[in-house]
Every structure is written in C-alpha cells, then in structure tokens.
Amino acid sequence: MSYGPPLLLASLNPIAVAAGDDIPDALTIDGTTLSRSDLLGAATSVAERISRADRVAVLAEPTVRTVLAVVGCLIAGVTVVPVPPDAGVAEREHILRDSGAQAWLGTAPEGTELPVVPVRLHARSWHTYPEPHPASVAFILYTSGTTGAPKGVMLSRGAIAAGLDALVQAWAWTWKDTLVHGLPLFHVHGLILGLLGPLRVGSPVIHTGKPTPEAYAAAGGSLYFGVPTVWSRIVEKPELARELGKARLLVSGSAPLPTPVFDKLAELTGQAPIERYGMSETMITLSTRADGERRPGWVGTPVRGVETRLRDETGEPVPHDGVSIGGLQVRGPMLFDGYLNRPDATAEDWTEDGWFRTGDVAVIDADGFHRIVGRESIDLIKSGGYRIGAGEIETALLGHPAVAEVAVVGLPDDDLGQRIVAFVVPRDDSSEDLAVELTTHVGEQLSAHKRPREVRFVDTLPRNAMGKVQKKQLS
Ligand code: MCA
Ligand code: AMP
C-alpha cells in the first residue's frame, strides 16, 4: 500500500485530503466548484480506467472533464497530450500521429478514429497509486517552430515540480492565495502554472473561461495570471481594473508587456505587475519577485536553479552590462527533455556545453536583471500570447488552390502585440470573399488563433538575388 501519490500535486495527497475538513476547495471551472475530495476521488477513478495506457490525447476545453482527465493521468503516470479544442484537421492529425496517443480521454472530436475513454464526473475511487518516477514524461505540449508542423515538447514530472517550486518562492505563493485566470489549458501558462501550480501549492483556482476584464474583476482572487493582451484590455476598463487593486499579485507573461500597460495597471491597481519570462521548452526561467524590484520592460532575474548567459552569433560571451545585446541561453532543472521524434531539432537547440538556446535576444544588467529585446527569427510570431510559426500558416495557405505565393508576418498590434498578416500572390483575381475564404481555410486546417487577421493581395513578393522572400520589407 502506498500513500505517496500524487506528490507532484501535493495538495491532493490522499492523507491530507482525508484529514482536511477545513482545507479550501480545489477549483472552480466552467461554473462548477470541486472540493479536493471530489477532485481526488473523480480523478482517481479516471486513473483506474487508463492506467494501462502510455499516452492519451485530451481535448483541452476549459471544463471539469479536462481537469479530471489531466489529473487522472498524473495520478496513473500516463502521459497527457493536450490538444487545442479548436485545432483544425491538419494540426490535430499531426498531433495525434506524432504523439502516438492511444485514445482520447474525455471529450473527442467528431469523426475520430481513436478509441474514446469517457471521463465520468460522478464516479469516485480511493485507490492509491505509487508516485510515478520524476523522470517520466507528464506532458507532450505541441508548440510552433519557425517552419514545419508544431513540435512536441516533452516535460517531465521533475521539471514541472522544479519549475513550480521556483515560482512559489519568487511569488511567495501559498495555499492562502486564490488564483484567477482564463487562459487556455493546452500551454504551459494556463495548464502547468495555472492548474498544476494551485494543485501543488494548495491554493484554490478559479478559471474564468475567457480572460475578460469583467470576469477577472468579478472573481475576487489574490493572484492573477494574464498575457499582455489580457492586461491591456483590463486597463481599458478603469473601473474593473481598480477591482484588481485588492489582489496580492498581478502576473504578466508569455509576451512582452508594453510599458504603457505596465504603468496604467500600476496606476489603476496601486501595484506594479510581476513580469516573468519563459517558454514551453523551459517553463518560467526569469521573473521579478513578490518582494523585489518591478521594472517596466524588464523580466527580472533567474528563478531558483536557473542560470543564464548571453552569446553573440559566433558563440562568444556578451557582457552583462545592461546595454549589450546577445542570444539568451538558459539552463536549469525545469527544462524539457527534447522534442518528441525530433532529435535533429533538439540537438540544434542545445550548445555543446549544455545550454539551451532560447532564440530570444536579451540584455542583462550588472544586477542580473533581464530585458527581452526580441526574437532572433522573424518567422516566430507572438499574437495574443500565442506562439505561431509563419511557416505553418504559409504551408496551409499554399494548400489552397487560389494561392500562388505567400509570405506570413507578424505586424505590430496594440491589442495583440503582433497580428498575423498574410501577403498573398493570387493565382487569379483577388477579392474580399477570397480573403475570408483563405482565413477560414487556415482555421479549418490549424487552430483559430492561427488565422490571419488580415490578408493583403500583392502582385509579387520582395525577394533577394537568391529568391528568398525579404520579410522585413513587408509592412
Ligand atoms: C480571431 N477571430 C477571428 C480572427 N482572429 N475571426 C476571424 N478572423 C480572424 N483572423 C475571432 C476570435 O476567434 C474571437 O471569436 C473574436 O474574433 C475576438 O477575438 P479576440 O477578442 O481578439 O480574442 P481572441 O483572439 O479570441 O483571444 C485573445 C486572448 C487569446 C484571450 C488574449 O489570444 C488568449 O487566450 N491568449 C493566451 C495565449 C496563451 O495562453 N499563451 C501561453 C503560451 P469568438 O469571440 O467568437 O471566440 S506561452 C507559455 O505557455 C509560456 C511558457 C509563457 O511564458 O507563459
Ligand atoms: P511559448 O513557447 O509559446 O511559451 O513562447 C515562448 C516565447 O514567448 C519566448 O521565447 C519569448 O519570445 C516569448 N515570451 C514569453 N514571455 C515573455 C516576456 N515576459 N517578455 C517577452 N517575451 C516573452
């Protein structure tokens, strides 16, 4: 008999749950609140149904079913492959094929060929499972590269535990906090930090469905997570923003927080936001601290266990003087285990001496504060906090018969940070209808957030003597 599990989700430890009449509810999502006992009992029942599987796909809608599926897999030691609920045909097929998921757990999209294992909301089991090994892969999270289809980032239980504990320390996060967010449950931000974080710490979490200013203001939490688009929409509604002044910490990440938004948020809520920086591959490596300086435009210092350095194009060190710009490299216990089935791409990302190349360009000052200056590649777009590869959208558009040539770029956008714009050379005539058709086509093949916000028809694309498209000239 083992009483260990689930150590990763420490607040769901069976002994603590059985003993804790007064411990707070675990979570509220989609209008339903679950006590810790409900969550543990229902998720353990899920674990019993899938404990012989290696890897299952979960359609990551923000629902109780998704939470039970994820927690059930973590209890049983089954790897979860979260699938964006709005993933189009090509993206979903790629994720299923590449990941080797054996079944859908919970809700499945129509017409699927994989078996479906239902998640029962009212079933309960109190069986206990041994804690899976920390090196075992908990999640395969699909994330875009500059070209090709998304790659599967393998995150181990040990990496997740280390990554969360570092944030607990940086943000003085305790079970007394109530976390509020409305972020998607298929990326590190909403899923690992926003769901597993509270279940590790023991703080309740309220998932608002969508991260609207109204829902954030009404939730009455002490700790809030948002991408910059969420914060910029909140400061547009001063009355609602002021409500957040009662919170302990407002945390921004996934993309650069514009300085005016930082300042406005500080003015309206009486507190400067915490900024932190991370990647699907690394979890969160840099952050300002609950008890430390919060400087607009800067993402703070390495969290516990992380080291960083800057390198130029030739691999030579770049001084940490607050002005010199270099490629940011990181190492630490929360890094991923490589891309599934892609040893080539994994090897490319690591230096010979064991540092991960983030692909971001940064400066570090003499106090160890970091500022992210931008990305090395123009082909990785950040829109609404989503990382989107230009190549993937170009491939989808080239699959449409009306498209002769295409170049996709991210152009500056006050709301989204960058917005996806497709420059298209049509085979025949262009029209407003064709623009809508192409946008819909991308949505059918990929995910909704990968649809171009704008399609601009052009006669030619700017190319250099080698024939390569000069994306910097597209604006
Ligand atoms: C959007 N719409 C469109 C188009 N684009 N319609 C037609 N054509 C298009 N091209 C639709 C939307 O589907 C939506 O419809 C409506 O227009 C309004 O869009 P909008 O208000 O802009 O909202 P949104 O774009 O749907 O959402 C904004 C958002 C979202 C809520 C900020 O981008 C978001 O959830 N971002 C979070 C991303 C994230 O979690 N990233 C973490 C990864 P309708 O209203 O009908 O739906 S980064 C990570 O994990 C690392 C480790 C880190 O550092 O955190
Ligand atoms: P993803 O893998 O979707 O999490 O995207 C990771 C990328 O998001 C990083 O490589 C950065 O380019 C960007 N990013 C995340 N957090 C920040 C931040 N606080 N400031 C600037 N860029 C960020």
Of the ligands numbered here, which is closest to the C-alpha atom of 210? 1
Q: Could you state, in chain order, the average pLDDT of each consecutive group of 10 residues for the chain (475 residues)? A: 63 83 86 95 97 97 98 97 96 97 96 95 94 96 92 97 97 97 98 97 96 98 98 98 98 97 98 98 98 97 98 96 97 98 95 97 98 95 96 96 97 97 93 94 96 97 93 93
The residue type at 220: G
Q: How far apart are CA 172 and CA 177, in angstroms?
A: 10
pLDDT of amino acid 4:
45
Q: How far apart are CA 389 and CA 251, in angstroms?
A: 26
- Domain layout of the chain by residue ranges: 380-473
User: Residue 428 C-alpha to ligand 2 middle, in angstroms?
Assistant: 39
Ligand 1 atom 27 nearest Cα = 384
Strand 283-287 vs strand 301-302: parallel, antiparallel, or unpaired? Answer: antiparallel
User: Residue 384 C-alpha to ligand 2 middle, in angstroms?
Assistant: 11
Ligand 1 atom 1 nearest Cα = 449
Residue position matching structure tokens 């915490």: 274
What is the maximum alpha-carbon separation in the chain? 72
The residue type at 202: G
Q: Which helix (H) or strand (E) holds 46?
A: helix 36-50
Residue in 141, 183, 287 to alter for ligand 1 test, most ligand atoms within 8 A of Cβ? 183
User: Residue 22 C-alpha to ligand 1 middle, in angstroms?
Assistant: 38
Show the ligand 2 pocket: residues with CB < 6 angstroms: 143, 188, 253-256, 275-280, 299, 358-360, 372, 375, 382, 387
Q: How far apart are CA 83 and CA 14, in angstroms?
A: 29
Q: How far apart are CA 304 and CA 322, in angstroms?
A: 22
The reported pTM is: 0.96
pLDDT of amino acid 368:
97
Kindly calculate the radius of gyration of the chain based on its CA atoms and give it in whole angstroms.
22
**Which regions of 95-248 does DSSP assign to beta strands (E)?**
104-105, 116-117, 137-143, 151-156, 179-181, 205-207, 223-226
User: Residue 340 C-alpha to ligand 2 middle, in angstroms?
Assistant: 21
CATH number for the segment(s) 380-473: 3.30.300.30
Ligand 1 atom 31 nearest Cα = 211
User: Residue 256 C-alpha to ligand 2 middle, in angstroms?
Assistant: 7
Alpha carbon 182 to chain centroid distance?
12
List all residues 6 or more positions away from 263 whose beta carbon is below 8 Å from its beta carbon.
296
